[in-house]
Amino acid sequence: MHSLFMRKKLIIGGAAITLAAAVCVFLYSYIIGFERDSLARKLPEDTSAYLSIRHIRKAAIAFATDDRLKSMSNVAQAIALSVGDSSSSSLPNWTSEIQVDPKLLAKLGLHFKSQIAIAIPSPEGNDIALLGQFSGSQESLYETLIEIAKQASSKSIQFEWSESAFGNIRYQELNITPSLDYSLSVFPTICCTVFEDVFYLTYSSDGLEKLLQHAQSKESPNLEERLTRHKVAQHIIDPDVIAYANLEPAVTLATTQIQNRLLQRGGLYSAFDASSFIETLGLNGLQSALLAFELTGDQALYSGVKYNAPNPLIGTANPPHLANLSDLPVELSLVNQGELSVNVGELLILVQNAFLKAAPIANFPYIAFNAKVYSETRKNFVQLLESSFEKKLRTLQTLDIGTARDRDGNIVENLLYDVAFRVPFETDSELGKVLRNRFPTLTKSNPRLIYQEGDTLYIDSDYDSSVTGGRFAIRVEDQYLTFGYGTLKSFYLIQKPASSYLISQPDPTPNSELIGNGRFSAQNMAYTLNRCAPVFYQQLNPGKRLPAELELFDWSSLNSLNQERSSRVYNDADGELYRVSKAQ
C-alpha cells in the first residue's frame, strides 16, 4: 500500500515537474525566443555587407539593465539627433505626415524575437535586405503590415500592399502612390515574404527572388562560410553583434572613384595611377573585414581583416618582444594608446616605391633628392631608411575640441580627431640630421603657414593662428621621430616621459603572432560629453538652436561610460590581422 502511494506521488511529482518545464519552455519561447541557425546561411557568399544582432530580445534586456549600455544608447541617440537634424531639410514634406499607432509597431515586433540582420546581398551593392527569424502567423504579419500602411497614408502619399508570387512562394509588394509633387522613381520597390521561418524584406522584387533562390539551393556557398574564416570563435564564443564587409568589391570601387577624381582635377594629378599604387601596397589583396562584440561580461570586441598572404603592407609587421607597454600620464579624458611592432623603414620604403611607380614623373625630383642625401651621408635614401628605425611604433589618439572655419569662412569650434605617432631611431642614425637640414627650405616655401621652433616643424592649416584644427607637426630629436596631426594635444603628450607596466599574458591563439598591444581610457565622461555634444551638434547644424533634448539631458548619468580597456593585435599565418579588446 505504501509503495503504491509513493509510486503515485512520484508520478504526480514528475508530471508537475514536466508541466512546469513545459510552461517555462513555452514562456521562454513566447517572450524571449529560442536561437536558430545563423541568418548568414541565408545569404550568398559574395554578400557585400552584413550587420546582425544575434538575439534582439536578449539585446533589449541587456540595454535595459546595464548602465553602460544605457549610456551608450543615449550617446548614439544624441549622434543620430545631430545627424538627423542636419539632413532633415532634404526630406520631403510627406515624411512628417506619417502617423502610426505604436501598438501596431509593438504587434509587429512580436514576430521577431531572436536574430535580425541587415545586408547588401550582392557585390554590386544595388539592393538592401532585412532578414529576421520569424515567429507566429504569416497571415497575422500581413494583416499588421496592411494596417500600418493604411495609417501611414496621407493626402500626399498612399501606401498599399498587394500580393504576388514566385512559383509557390507568395510575397507582398508595397505600392506607393505619391501626389503630383513627387516622382514615383524616387521610391524603392519594397517586397517581403516569409520562407522557412525567415522573414525577408528587400528593395526590389529581383533582389527578393535571388535570395529565395539561394535559400532553396542548399548546396550554394553561403556567407556563414566567409564569417567562420575569421578568428572570432577563438576569442568570443557567441558574439551578440557582428558586422561584416566584403573588401574585394569595395577596394575595386574605391580605386575607380579615386582615379576618376584625379582625372577630373587634371594636370599632374591625372598622371597618378591609383590602381598601381593600391596593387603595390597589396590593398587589392584584402578579402573581408569583420567586427564582433558581446554586450555582457567583459564586453569583448574583435575586429579583423582577412587578406591574401603574403601581403606587402602587412608583411612589415614583425613578431615582437612586447613584454611591456608604455603608459603615458592620463591628461586627456578620452585617449587610445598603443604600441605596434612594425619595421617602419621597410614600411616607408614600400610606400615610397608604390608612389614612384604610380607617378613616374616624381622620379626626377627624387633622383635629385637622393643625390643630396648621398652627399650628406654616403648612403642613398633607401639605405638610410633601412638602418634608421627601431621596429617599434607608438600611437596616441583622442577627440579634442578645436577651432576651424565653417562653410561661410567663420572660425567656429569643432570636434576634431587628434593623432600622434612616435618611433625611436637606431643608435647613430643619420636620418634625423637629413630631415632637420630640410626644415629651412620648407619654411621659406610658405613662411606664413610653415615655421620652425627648435627641432620641431609646424604646418598650420590657416593663416589665422586662432585656427587650432588641422595642424601638422614633426619633431626630429636625436632618439625619436614624432608626427602629430589635429590640435596637437596628442603630439605633445606622446613626447612626455612614460612609465611602463607589465601586460597580462596574451590569449592563447594558435598560428597567431602578437604584434601589438594597447590601452583605451575613458574618464570623466559626463563632463566630456556634456562639453562635446553641443559642439558636435552645431558643427553639423550651423546656426540652429540646440534641441531641448540636449539641454535637459542628465549628463551625470554618463559617468557609467568611464572605463579602461586593454587590447592585443595579432597577425595570423592563415592571412588575418586582428585585434581583441576587453574591458578591465
Query: Is residue 219 within 8 Å of 270, Cβ to Cβ?
Result: no
pLDDT of residue 184: 53
Amino acid at 266: G
Grid cell 503504491 is found at 4
pLDDT of residue 36: 61
pLDDT of residue 23: 37
Q: How far is CA 177 from CA 133, 154, 165, in A?
A: 30, 10, 22
Q: What angle do CA 78, 490, 531 make, to 5 degrees?
A: 30
Instruction: Tell how far CA 519 is from the center of its chain.
Output: 18
pLDDT of residue 512: 80
Q: Which residues of the chain have pLDDT under 50?
A: 5, 8-34, 323, 501-505
Q: Strand 157-166 vs strand 169-178: parallel, antiparallel, or unpaired?
A: antiparallel
pLDDT of residue 93: 58
Transcribe 213-243 into DSSP letters.
Answer: HHHH-TTS-BHHHHHTTSSGGGT-SS-SEEE
| pTM strictly above 0.75 | yes
Domain locations in the chain?
36-83+113-153+187-216, 236-306, 344-493, 525-553
pLDDT of residue 396: 92
pLDDT of residue 32: 46
Distance separating alpha carbons of residues 54 and 52, to the nearest angstrom: 6
pLDDT of residue 318: 77
For residue 356, give the 3-state DSSP assignment.
Answer: helix
For residue 509, give the 3-state DSSP assignment.
Answer: coil
